[in-house]
Amino acid sequence: MKLPPGQRRVLKAVAERLREGFSPTAHDLTRLLGLRPQTLRQHLEALQKKGLLRLYPGGHGRPTHLELTPEGLLLAGTAIPLVGRIPAGPLEEAWEEVEGLLALPGRPGLFALVVEGDSMAEYLLEGDVVVVERGPKPRRGEVAAVFHEGRTTLKYVYLEGEEVVLKPHNPAYPTVRLPAREVEVQGVFRFLLRGREALEALAILRRL
User: What is the b/e burial string over 123-136, where b = at least 16 CB atoms within 10 angstroms of the residue's CB?
Assistant: bbbeebbbbbbeee
> Roughly how many angstroms between the first and final C-alpha of the chain, as a whole number?
19
Catalytic residues: 119, 155
CA distance 110 to 3: 20
